[in-house]
């Protein structure tokens, strides 16, 4: 059923009910009004009847007064003249005055005169029964003012009665009796009164048996003067009123019966009124319903339809029509307002759902990454997974992952995904930037350059830091759609980076642990000692290869077993006792000799060290045993002890022999040293003679022979000199001089000696003494020169072409003296590196062919070394053995500072070169440098060139 039908039906029903109600209410109100009016009228009628009765009584009383206050009556009472009554109370008097009874009483209350009259019959009748008894109760009326008036309750019918004292006309007394007049309240009187009142009423004695039923029913309700109303039937209403008799007793009632004209009128009025109300209500209802439909229902239904449409299509952006300014229009406006709120809430909801979906996506990506990371085995792989997972996130398109190489410390782009070639190049440039800056911050140029590549936003996340806090792995991701990476996405990236960082740490830790384990394992396996490990119950948990070899038991056989599984009980008990002691004492136990029977090696002696490991709570974890097989050592020691004893004896013998040999050697050296003069003198003689013979006239052949003899003699003399020098040194007979000398002069002398030979071979001879080297020193100039000549002589000898250079520099100096460093270099055949040491030994030459080709004895360097040692220095050779590259001999020597001053060394007068330009020209670079150095002290600018 539609709303319209429902509303119209409901309102219709309500209107009908309302109209019905209205009708009934109005009907009831109108009728009630009329009923009340009817009752009021009836009450008034009852009162009118009472008044009429009272008026009747008053009339009777007035008449009674007229007769009682009349002098005739007064006189009569004294005279009792019958004429009075005969004249005054004739029948006509009764008829005219509507009297029924006249009574005259004397003052004693005795009836003087009494007459009763039936007015209907117009005849005198006897006095009614009981009249006199009742009247007697009212007498006497002695007072002028006193009187009696009321209704006398006679058995037949009530009588209106008035009694007055008989007085003079001036109402003066004394009273001569009482006049009583009565008027019967009979049907005639009642009818007359009813006619006069236009009413229908009756007077009843309450105690009457033939009282009408309705009157009988209200007897109990009659109180005082209140009238009681009863509707007798549809057409008749009755009013009852109580009437008191002359004695004040409520013995009578008046019953006024009225037709219900007012009620009938009211009924008709109410009916007309109801019909009118009905008509008006129907009219109003029709108009109201039409208006309701027109102005309310239709609009509400239209509003409902619009809302239905909006709801069905979720078209919260639409608005309902707002027409007019009434409540429905306000409702529509409110609905529109509500729709606005719903639209916003809907949008917010959609945004929330999208947000939740994104968060779920993020969480899933994180979970997936965690799963992936749990499967990877390498750091690189973990970083790649991190990048892949990051690029799964919505809005992120491309990126790269960087790693700092642990070995080199260089930051490197490990992987790039989804990047254009240009962006990849930019990322690779970051390697350099980050290597220089050591930060993970993105340089400004990157963001600018990336924007040109269509990248809207870019973010860098540190994945891992090393123990110094330096970032060692970065993640960079970029978006081509998001202008800014939203905060939740950033947080996810941070979380992913941290997750990866943790995974990397774990991988590294695992790798480190694995390496340590491998190292430990290898170490264990390779150790030449047996290593085993037991748990607190004595079960083996580790057993290395040496153990296997020593005890003949494989690891598989041993692990998880105890000593009792392999050794006799006594021995196993012994092992166990020691183990428990180690656990208890918390100290390393050394068992120096532990005999063990090996199934493969027989009886072995072990030296075992046992120690224990405890956990943090001090609970024993493991016992580590290290057993060294000292069987061989023990045997060797025994052998050694025997050998030692033998050696002792041999040493004693050797010492004796050495002493003998030393004595012999010294004797030989001393002999040679002593023979020096004797050997050299004949040689000088021979050479002198040859010299002299060469100056004589000789044939070319003789000259050739003599020249050859001279050469041989010189060679022999040199050899002799060397042998003698060596002998002297070995015999400890050589002593160095300590004299002041000019170092530069010594070097020049060397040059003088060598120069001819060098020139002969076409060799360039270069000499340089560093200016820092002091010229005047104290030492043995001859021996120094000998060393230099030896070295330079060798250089000339072993060099075919090139140059020989002698250089003296200052190595060290202090207050007492200087240490000079002399270097003699050549460009000769060089010396093989393995010979660089042995050539300094006596009679040793670098090559066996050397003697034949170059001659020599192999003594020069040995002597030089001895002399250098005596001068507190050392000598060594440097060469790579490459011909043409030559060799360099260096030696150091300590010289004392000169005691005096060398005359030539007095302050040097500078040549007047100041301000001049000096051009040094030489094809040899070393020479140019030497001259340049010398001139440098005189002139500031010394350009040099190889040639002009
Ligand atoms: P020798 O009289 O044989 O030269 P030395 O003691 O002076 O005896 O030298 C020993 C050896 O050292 C030489 O035989 C030679 O093999 C090698 N030697 C010494 N100086 C040089 C050098 N300047 N160039 C190459 N070899 C050299």
Task: List, run by run, the mean pLDDT of 10-residue segments along the chain (948 residues).
Answer: 77 81 81 88 91 92 92 90 90 91 90 91 90 89 86 89 91 87 90 90 87 88 87 89 90 90 86 82 83 83 87 87 85 89 89 87 89 89 91 90 83 89 87 72 83 89 82 88 88 90 88 86 86 92 88 89 89 89 86 82 87 86 90 86 89 87 76 72 83 87 88 83 80 85 91 90 90 90 92 92 93 91 94 91 69 72 92 94 92 89 55 71 74 68 60
Nearest CA among 835, 813, 814, 811 for reference residue 823? 811
For residue 824, the CA-to-ligand 1 centroid distance in Å is 13
Q: Is residue 478 within 8 Å of residue 458, measured between CB atoms? A: yes
For residue 729, the CA-to-ligand 1 centroid distance in Å is 20
Report the 10 Å Cβ neighbour count for 834. Answer: 9
- Report d(CA 402, CA 137) in Å as an integer: 148
Token pair belonging to 920: 């040094």
Longest distance between any two alpha carbons in the chain, whole Å: 263
Token pair belonging to 343: 């639209």
Question: What predicted TM-score, i.e. pTM, was given to this entire model?
Answer: 0.37
Which of 826, 855, 856 is the best mutation target for the ligand 1 pocket, counting ligand atoms within 8 Å of the beta carbon and taking the most? 856
Q: Is 829 in the pocket of ligand 1 (CB under 6 A)?
A: yes
Report the 10 Å Cβ neighbour count for 650. Answer: 12
Q: Is 479 in the pocket of ligand 1 (CB under 6 A)?
A: no
Q: Is 789 in the pocket of ligand 1 (CB under 6 A)?
A: no
Token pair belonging to 576: 């166990």
Spatial neighbors of 150 by CB under 8 A, at least 6 apart, are: 57, 160, 161, 244, 245, 246, 247
Alpha helix stretches (DSSP H) within 695-742: 700-730
Strands 803-813 and 764-769: parallel
pLDDT of residue 410: 83
Q: Is 721 in the pocket of ligand 1 (CB under 6 A)?
A: no
Q: Is 722 in the pocket of ligand 1 (CB under 6 A)?
A: no
Q: Is residue 706 within 8 Å of residue 690, measured between CB atoms? A: yes
Which atom, in ligand 1's list, is nearest to the CA of 886? 24
Q: Is 182 in the pocket of ligand 1 (CB under 6 A)?
A: no
- Report d(CA 241, CA 48) in Å as an integer: 11
Which of 717, 720, 861 is the best mutation target for the ligand 1 pocket, counting ligand atoms within 8 Å of the beta carbon and taking the most? 861
For residue 91, the CA-to-ligand 1 centroid distance in Å is 219
Q: Is 858 in the pocket of ligand 1 (CB under 6 A)?
A: yes
Instruction: Kindly state the DSSP code that residue 100 receives in the 8-state scheme.
Output: S
Which atom, in ligand 1's list, is nearest to the CA of 855? 3
418: region left, alpha or beta (phi > 0 left; psi from -120 to 50 alpha): left
Tokens 């009588």 found at? 159
- Ligand 1, atom 21, lies closest to the CA of 794
Which of 845, 855, 882 is the best mutation target for the ligand 1 pocket, counting ligand atoms within 8 Å of the beta carbon and taking the most? 845
CA dihedral 78, 83, 89, 91 (to 10 degrees): 160
pLDDT of residue 937: 65
228 φ, ψ to 5°?
A: -115, 135
889 φ, ψ to 5°?
A: -105, 130
- Ligand 1, atom 23, lies closest to the CA of 795
Separation in Å, CA 45 to CA 201, 237, 255, 479, 716 = 9, 11, 10, 112, 202
Number of helical (H) and strand (E) elements in the chain, helices listed first: 24, 28
Which of 794, 797, 837 is the best mutation target for the ligand 1 pocket, counting ligand atoms within 8 Å of the beta carbon and taking the most? 794
Q: Is 831 in the pocket of ligand 1 (CB under 6 A)?
A: yes
Which of 720, 802, 839 is the best mutation target for the ligand 1 pocket, counting ligand atoms within 8 Å of the beta carbon and taking the most? 839
Spatial neighbors of 234 by CB under 8 A, at least 6 apart, are: 260
Torsional sign, CA 596, 599, 603, 608 = negative
* Helix (H), strand (E) at residue 673: helix 631-694
Cis peptide before 140 (omega within 30 of 0): yes
pLDDT of residue 824: 96
- Ligand 1, atom 8, lies closest to the CA of 858
Q: Is residue 751 within 8 Å of residue 885, measured between CB atoms? A: no
Token pair belonging to 33: 């009004």
Span between the terminal Cα atoms of the chain, in Å: 128
552: region left, alpha or beta (phi > 0 left; psi from -120 to 50 alpha): left
For residue 875, the CA-to-ligand 1 centroid distance in Å is 14
Q: Is residue 798 within 8 Å of residue 826, measured between CB atoms? A: yes
Q: Is residue 802 within 8 Å of residue 886, measured between CB atoms? A: yes
pLDDT of residue 941: 56
Instruction: Kindly state the DSSP code that residue 183 receives in the 8-state scheme.
Output: E
Q: Is 860 in the pocket of ligand 1 (CB under 6 A)?
A: yes
Q: Is 805 in the pocket of ligand 1 (CB under 6 A)?
A: no
Report the 10 Å Cβ neighbour count for 691. Answer: 12
Strands 920-921 and 944-945: parallel
Token pair belonging to 357: 């979906």
Report the Cα 235 to chain-centroid distance in Å.
98
Q: Is 861 in the pocket of ligand 1 (CB under 6 A)?
A: yes
Q: Is 845 in the pocket of ligand 1 (CB under 6 A)?
A: yes
SS3 (DSSP) at 518 = helix
Q: Is 846 in the pocket of ligand 1 (CB under 6 A)?
A: yes
For residue 839, the CA-to-ligand 1 centroid distance in Å is 7
SS3 (DSSP) at 801 = coil
For residue 489, the CA-to-ligand 1 centroid distance in Å is 81
Q: Is 794 in the pocket of ligand 1 (CB under 6 A)?
A: yes
Token pair belonging to 201: 């009423």
Instruction: Kindly state the DSSP code that residue 297 receives in the 8-state scheme.
Output: I
Token pair belonging to 243: 């009437």
Tokens 């009225």 found at? 258
Q: Is 74 in the pocket of ligand 1 (CB under 6 A)?
A: no
- Report d(CA 44, CA 398) in Å as an integer: 115
For residue 845, the CA-to-ligand 1 centroid distance in Å is 6
For residue 222, the CA-to-ligand 1 centroid distance in Å is 181
Token pair belonging to 155: 């058995």
693 φ, ψ to 5°?
A: -60, -35
């Amino acid at each position: 059923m539609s709303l319209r039908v429902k509303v119209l039906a409901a309102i219709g029903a309500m209107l009908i009910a309302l109209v019905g109600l209205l009708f009934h209410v109005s009907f009831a109100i109108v009728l009630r009004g009329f009923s009340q009016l009817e009752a009021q009228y009836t009450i008034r009628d009852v009162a009118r009847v009472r008044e009429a009765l009272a008026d009747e009584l008053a009339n009777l009383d007035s008449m009674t007064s007229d007769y009682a206050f009349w002098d005739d009556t007064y006189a009569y009472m004294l005279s009792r003249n019958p004429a009075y009554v005969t004249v005054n109370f004739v029948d006509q008097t009764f008829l005219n005055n509507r009297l029924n009874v006249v009574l005259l009483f004397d003052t004693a209350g005795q009836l003087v005169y009494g007459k009763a009259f039936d007015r209907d019959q117009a005849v005198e009748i006897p006095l009614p029964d009981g009249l006199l008894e009742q009247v007697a109760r009212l007498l006497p009326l002695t007072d002028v003012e006193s009187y009696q008036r009321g209704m006398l309750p006679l058995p037949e019918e009530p009588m209106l009665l008035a009694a007055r004292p008989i007085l003079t006309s001036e109402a003066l007394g004394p009273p001569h009796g009482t006049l009583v007049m009565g008027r019967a309240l009979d049907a005639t009187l009642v009818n007359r009164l009813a006619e006069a009142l236009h009413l229908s009423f009756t007077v009843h004695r309450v105690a009457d048996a033939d009282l009408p039923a309705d009157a009988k029913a209200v007897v109990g309700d009659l109180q005082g003067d209140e009238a009681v109303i009863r509707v007798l039937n549809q057409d008749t209403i009755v009013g009852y009123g109580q009437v008191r008799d002359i004695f004040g007793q409520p013995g009578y009632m008046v019953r006024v019966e009225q037709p219900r004209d007012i009620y009938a009128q009211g009924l008709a009025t109410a009916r007309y009124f109801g019909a009118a109300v009905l008509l008006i209500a129907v009219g109003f209802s029709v108009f109201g319903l039409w208006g309701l439909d027109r102005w309310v229902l239709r609009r509400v239904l239209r509003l409902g339809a619009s809302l239905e449409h909006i709801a069905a299509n979720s078209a919260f952006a639409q608005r309902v029509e707002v027409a007019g300014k009434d409540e429905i229009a306000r409702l529509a406006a409110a609905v529109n307002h509500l729709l606005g709120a719903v639209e916003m809430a809907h949008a917010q909801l959609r945004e929330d759902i999208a947000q939740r979906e994104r968060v779920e996506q993020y969480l899933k990506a994180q979970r997936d990454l965690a799963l992936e990371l749990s499967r990877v085995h390498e750091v690189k792989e973990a970083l790649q997974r991190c990048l892949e997972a990051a690029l799964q996130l919505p809005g992120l398109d491309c990126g790269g992952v960087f790693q700092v190489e642990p070995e080199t410390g260089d930051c490197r782009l490990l992987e790039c995904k989804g990047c254009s070639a240009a962006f990849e190049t930019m990322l690779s440039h970051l390697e350099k930037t980050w290597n220089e800056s050591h930060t993970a911050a993105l340089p400004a140029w990157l963001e600018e350059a990336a924007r040109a590549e269509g990248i809207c936003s870019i973010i860098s996340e540190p994945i891992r830091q090393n123990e110094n806090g330096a970032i060692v792995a970065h993640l960079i991701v970029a978006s081509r759609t998001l202008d800014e990476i939203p905060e939740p996405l950033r947080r996810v990236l941070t979380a992913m980076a941290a997750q990866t960082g943790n995974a990397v740490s774990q991988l590294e830790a695992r790798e480190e642990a694995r390496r340590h384990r491998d190292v430990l394992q290898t170490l264990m396996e390779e150790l030449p000692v047996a290593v085993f490990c037991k748990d607190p119950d004595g079960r083996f948990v580790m057993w290395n290869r040496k153990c296997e070899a020593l005890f003949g038991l494989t690891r598989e056989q041993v692990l998880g077993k105890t000593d009792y599984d392999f050794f006799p009980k006594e021995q196993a008990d012994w092992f166990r006792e020691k183990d428990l002691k180690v656990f208890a004492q918390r100290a390393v136990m050394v068992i120096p000799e532990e005999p063990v029977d090996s199934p493969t090696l027989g009886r072995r002696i072990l030296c075992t060290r046992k120690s224990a490991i405890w956990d943090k709570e001090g609970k024993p974890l493991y016992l580590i045993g290290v057993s060294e097989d000292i069987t061989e050592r023990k045997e060797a020691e025994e052998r050694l002890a025997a050998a030692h004893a033998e050696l002792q004896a041999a040493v004693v013998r050797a010492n004796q022999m050495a002493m003998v040999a030393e004595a012999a050697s010294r004797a030989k050296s001393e002999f040679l040293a002593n023979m020096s003069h004797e050997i050299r003198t004949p040689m000088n003689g021979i050479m002198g003679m040859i010299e002299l013979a060469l100056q004589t006239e000789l044939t070319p052949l003789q000259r050739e022979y003599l020249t050859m003899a001279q050469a041989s003699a010189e060679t022999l003399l040199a050899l002799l000199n060397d042998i003698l020098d060596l002998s002297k040194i070995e015999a400890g007979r050589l002593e160095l001089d300590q004299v002041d000398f000019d170092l530069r002069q010594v070097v020049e002398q060397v040059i003088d000696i060598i120069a001819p030979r060098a020139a002969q071979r076409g060799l360039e001879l270069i000499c340089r003494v560093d200016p820092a080297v002091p010229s005047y020193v104290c030492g043995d100039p001859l021996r120094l020169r000998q060393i230099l000549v030896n070295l330079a002589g060798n250089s000339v000898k072993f060099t075919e072409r090139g140059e020989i250079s002698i250089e003296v520099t200052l190595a060290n100096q202090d207050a007492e003296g200087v240490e000079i460093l002399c270097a003699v270099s050549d460009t000769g055949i060089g010396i093989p590196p393995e010979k660089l040491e042995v050539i300094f030994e006596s009679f040793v030459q670098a090559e066996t062919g050397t003697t034949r080709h170059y001659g020599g004895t192999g003594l020069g360097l040995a002597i030089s070394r001895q002399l250098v040692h005596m001068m507190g220095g050392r000598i060594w050779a440097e060469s790579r053995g490459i011909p043409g590259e030559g060799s360099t001999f260096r030696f150091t020597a300590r010289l004392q500072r000169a005691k005096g001053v060398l005359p030539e060394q007095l302050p040097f007068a500078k040549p007047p070169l100041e301000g001049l330009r000096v051009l040094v020209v030489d094809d040899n670079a070393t020479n140019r440098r030497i001259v340049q150095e010398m001139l440098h002290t005189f002139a500031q600018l010394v350009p040099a060139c190889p040639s002009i």
